[in-house]
Amino acid sequence: MKSSKYILFIALLGICIGCSLTKDLQEGQYAVYENNIEGIQKSEKDELYGLIEQEPNTRFLGSSLGVTIYRIGRNFYDSIKVATKLETAEEKLAAIESARDSLPEDKKLRKKEDKLNSKIESLEKKLEFGNAVMRTGNPLVVLDSAETETTVSNLKGYLANNGFFDSKVGFEVETKKKKAFVTYRISEGAPYIIDSVYTKSDNPEIIKLLKQRSEDSHLSEGDLYIQDNIVMERNRIEELLKNNGFYMFSKSYINYIAYQDTASKTIDLEQVIQKPTFTDKHEVYTIDSIVFRINPPSNEFADRRVQERFRDVNFSFYRDRYSAKVLASRIFLETGQPYSRTAAIETQRQLSNLDLFRFVNITFDTLGTSLNANIFTQPNQKYQLTNQLGMTITEQLPGPFFSTSLRNRNFFRAGEILEFNFRAGLEGVASATGQGVYQSSEVSTGVTVIFPRFLIPFAPGSLQKYGRYNPNTRTRLSYIYTNRPEYTRNAVNGLLSYTWATSTNRIHYTLNAADISYIRTPKLQQEFLDILEDLQNEGNNLIWSFLPSFISSISGQTVINFNKYGDFTSSKASLLRLFAESGGTSLNFFDVRSNSEPGIEYANFQWVKTQIDFRRYYPLDEDQKFAYRLNFGWARPYGVSAGILPYEKYFFAGGGTSVRAWQARRLGPGSYVPETGEGGEYDYTNEQPAEMILESMLEYRRKLVGYFDMALFVDVGNSWVIGYDAARPGADFRYDRFYKELAVGTGLGLRMDFDFLVVRLDLATKAVDPSKPEGQRWVLDNINFKRPFGVKGQTVLNFGIGYPF
C-alpha cells in the first residue's frame, strides 16, 4: 500500500517536472515569472504587492501543477462546439418562452424552461472559463503590457491615498528564455502629515456631540494623511449621529477639504457638515409609538387578530397567542427616547434569533420630528420535520441509518421550541473478543425544550434585564440503547443548560447547571469482561464505563471569538475557549459509598476539570496563511471516585485534531512505552487515557490550484497522569522532565476546499518519540529514499472533514 502511494507521488512529480512552464508560447510572448517592487521604505509592502495585476503561477521545481492541469483540460476542449451548443439552447429556450405566453400554467413547459436555463448557465460558464478540468487548474499568466500599466496606476493611486503625493512609479521588464521578470521602481518622497482638523457646522448639537466623542476620531494631528481614515471617520460620524437621534442624517452630508502645504508637507483638513436640503438643520427624531404586527398568511384571516399592549408596544397577533412579555424583551426601541440605529438593528437581530418568524422588517413613519416604529413579521412554519437516510461507518463495515427530527415552534405560546429526535442505525463492527465482524445496532431518542429566556426561580425581572443577551434555557431528556456482540448498554441523560451572548455576539457563554446521566449494562460477555480487566491492569479504566453508573456535573464554558475566527478569507483572527467542570456535585448532598469499598453496586464519580484552548489565524497574503493552536487541559478525581474519572472525561492525545503523527488517542502518556509486537514495533491497539494534556499545532497553509490547498504542519504535545501510575511507568507528570517528553510530529496536508465543505488529508510522520529511551527519541532520520515512510507505524494518514483547528 505504501509503495503504491510512493510510486503515484513520483509519477505525479515526474509529470509536473516534465511539463515546461513556457511550453507552446508564441513569438514575443513571455510567462510572468517574478514580480519585484523596489524603493519601499514607509509603505505597507504586502498591500503594494497585492495591487499587482498579473501574479506568477504557483511553481514547484520550476513547473506549475495548475498550468499542467489546465493544459490537460484544454486538450479536449472545443470552444466552437460549446458556443454552438449554447446558441442552440438559447433558441430552444426562446421557443419555449413563446409557447408559455399562451400556456402560462403548463407544468411540462415550465420544467423544460428551468432545465434549459440551468443548461445555459452551465454552458456560459464553460465558454468563459473552460471545462471542469481547466477550471480546476490555472491558465499560464502571459505578460500583458496593458496589465503592467494598470499595475503602475494602482501603485500610484495607493501611494497618493496614503499621503505620498510626490511619489513616482516606473517599471522595467527583463526577459530570459520566454520568462518575464518585472520590476516596479517606486520613489515615495516625503509623506504628508495632518497638521490640523477643523469641523465646520451650523448645528451646535452636532458640534457638541463630536467633541464629546473626539477620542474615537480616526483623524488626529500628527498622523499620516490616509484616505481610508477619512472614509472610516465619515462612517463613524454617521453611526454616532444616527445612534443619537439624527434619523435623517447620512454620510453624504459630510465633505472634506484638504489644504496642502507643499513646503512643509502638511495637510490642514476641514470637515464640513452640510445642511439638509429639506429643512434648516439636522433634527433629532424621537420614537413616538411602536407597533409589533404578526401578519396572517392572507387577508382571509384578518379578523382573527388579537390586540395587546405591553411596555408601550402595541402588539397585533394572528391566531395563536404569542407572549408579549417575551417579544418586548427583544425590542430595544423605547417610546419617548431618541432614535438609535443600533437599537433598531439589535431589535431585528434578536427577534430573528427566536426562530419564530420567517422575516423581521422594521420601518419608520415620520411626523415632524416624531417616529412611528412598525415591526412587521410573519409566523415561521410551526411544525418542521426533517428526515435523513444514509450510510455510516465507524469501524469495519458501513451500515444504514435513519434519523428524524420534529420541531414545534411556540410550543407553550411563549416562544418555546420543542424538538423531538430519533435515530436508528446498523453497522458492521469487529468483535473486541476477536470473533470476526458482527452486527451492531444503536437507537437513540430525545426531547428538548428551548425557552427564549432564563428560567431562574424568584427572579421575575430577569426577562427584561437580560433580553439583549439572547438568553436561552435548554432542557433535554435523552435515551440511547446500544446492542453489540459483547454487551448491551442503556444510557439516560438529563440536561439543564443556560446560554447567552454579548450584544456584539463576540462572546458566548454556556452554563450547564445540571448534566445527569444514568448508565447501565444489562448484558456483558465474560470474554469481553476479561479484556476490560486486562486493560485495567494496563492503566486503562474503560471497565468503569460498563458498570452501573450515576454521573452528574456542573460545567461552564466561555468562547471569545476575535474578528470572526473561522472565516479564513479575511484578516487575522483568534478564538479563546475556557471550560471548567465540577463532577459529582449532586453527590455531595447524599451519603454515597466510595468506589474503593467492596461490594459497590453503582459506580460514583467526583472530579474537577478545566481546559484552555487558544487558536490564532494570521494571513500573510491572499494565498498564504499561518495558523496555530495551544491547548491545555487538567482533570482530577477526588472523593468517592477512588482516583478514577468517567472514561469520557479523560484527555487523549493523538489523531486528526491533535498530534497527527500518532493514531487517535494512542500518544503517551508521558514517556510510557507501549507493548511491542512480534516485529519489535510498538502495539498501539489500546487507547491511552490521561489526566493532563498540553499540545500545540502550527500550520502553514497555501492555495495550490482550483479547489486544492496544501499545508505544512508541526505538532507538539503529550498527555500525562497526575501521580504515579504503576501500570504505566513514566506516565506521571514531572516538572523536571515533562519538556523532554513532548512528542513532535510533522507532515504535509492536502485540502479540497469546496466553500461549503473542506475535505482534509494529512500525512504525518513522527519526529520525536517520547516513548523511546532518552538520546534515541529523534526518529525523523528513519526516513530516507529507501524507506520514504520510515519504520512501520512511523507515518500516519489522517482523513477529516473541515480544518483541524
pLDDT at position 422: 95
In a domain, 482, yes or no: no
**What is the SS3 string spanning 277-317?**
CCCCCCCCCEEEEEEEEECCCCHHHHHHEEEEEECCEEEEE
- CA-nearest of 166, 165, 188, 173 to 48 is 188
Give the position of cell 503523527.
661
**Rounded to the nearest 10 degrees, how much is the dihedral formed by the CA atoms of 244, 248, 249, 253?**
-160
In a domain, 149, yes or no: yes
Give the position of cell 449532586.
586
Give the angle 739-743-748 at the CA atoms, nearest 5°: 140
Q: Which of 315, 348, 379 is the last residue of a domain?
A: 379
Residues 668 and 696 in one domain: yes
Are residues 419 and 406 in contact, defined by beta-carbon separation less than 8 angstroms?
A: yes
Q: Residue 22 and residue 495: Cα distance in Å, rounded?
A: 64
Are residues 616 and 699 in contact, defined by beta-carbon separation less than 8 angstroms?
A: no
Residues 36 and 174 in one domain: yes
One-letter amino acid identity for 21? Answer: L
In a domain, 444, yes or no: no
C-alpha cell belonging to residue 654: 493523538
Q: Which of 231, 246, 273 is the last residue of a domain?
A: 273
Residues 213 and 356 in one domain: no
The strand pair at 305-310 and 313-318 is best described as: antiparallel
Burial of 293 (0-12, 13-18, 19+ CB in 10 A): middle
Residues 124 and 206 in one domain: no
C-alpha cell belonging to residue 329: 424583551
In a domain, 100, yes or no: yes
Residues 747 and 680 in one domain: yes
Residues 105 and 253 in one domain: no
One-letter amino acid identity for 686? Answer: N
pLDDT at position 238: 95
Q: Which of 252, 273, 294 is the last residue of a domain?
A: 273
**Is the pTM here over 0.85, yes or no?**
no
Half-sphere exposure of 428 (CA within 13 A, CB side): 8
Residues 148 and 238 in one domain: no
Q: Residue 289 and residue 287: Cα distance in Å, rounded?
A: 6
Average pLDDT per run of 10 along the chain, which is 805 residues long? 43 49 83 92 88 86 79 87 90 84 76 86 87 83 93 94 93 91 93 93 92 91 92 95 95 93 92 89 94 76 73 85 90 95 94 92 94 93 87 63 92 92 80 62 94 82 83 95 86 94 86 92 84 80 82 94 71 90 74 60 83 92 86 91 84 92 89 78 83 95 82 95 87 92 93 81 92 89 76 84 84
In a domain, 439, yes or no: no
In a domain, 481, yes or no: no
Annotate 704-769 with DSSP letters as a single string: EETTEEEEEEEEEEEEEBSS--TTSTT-B--TTTGGGG-EEEEEEEEEEE-SS-EEEEEEEEEEE-
Give the angle 561-805-352 at the CA atoms, nearest 5°: 40
Q: Residue 436 and residue 499: Cα distance in Å, rounded?
A: 45
Give the angle 680-686-688 at the CA atoms, nearest 5°: 110
Give the position of cell 428551468.
114
Q: Residue 636 and residue 691: Cα distance in Å, rounded?
A: 7
C-alpha cell belonging to residue 687: 487507547
Residues 240 and 360 in one domain: no
In a domain, 290, yes or no: yes
Instruction: Please report the sign of the dihedral spanned by the C-alpha atoms of residue 495, residue 500, residue 505, residue 509.
Output: negative
pLDDT at position 8: 43
Which CATH number does the domain housing residue 328 bear? Answer: 3.10.20.310
Residues 728 and 792 in one domain: yes
Q: Which DSSP letter does residue 690 get?
A: B
Phi, psi of 376 (to 5 degrees): -110, 130
Q: Residue 572 and residue 563: Cα distance in Å, rounded?
A: 7
Left (φ > 0), alpha (ψ -120 to 50) or beta: where does 562 sit?
beta
Residues 179 and 161 in one domain: yes
Q: Which DSSP letter does residue 539 get?
A: T
Number of structural domains the chain divides into: 5
Residues 794 and 689 in one domain: yes
In a domain, 405, yes or no: no
Q: Which residues of 558-581 are buried (b: 16+ CB within 10 A; e: fewer)?
A: ebbbeeebeebeeeebbbbbebeb
Residue 66 CB: number of other CB atoms within 10 A? 22
pLDDT at position 7: 41
Residues 264 and 290 in one domain: no
Q: Which DSSP letter does residue 682 get?
A: B
Q: How far is CA 80 from the centre of its chain?
A: 43
Sheet with 31-38, strands from edge to edge, namely 31-38, 179-187, 168-176
Q: Residue 473 and residue 327: Cα distance in Å, rounded?
A: 16
Are residues 538 and 633 in contact, defined by beta-carbon separation less than 8 angstroms?
A: no
Instruction: Please report the sign of the dihedral spanned by the C-alpha atoms of residue 113, residue 79, residue 137, residue 1.
Output: positive
Query: Which structural domain range is residue 102 located in?
Result: 79-129
- CA-nearest of 372, 374, 385, 375 to 354 is 375
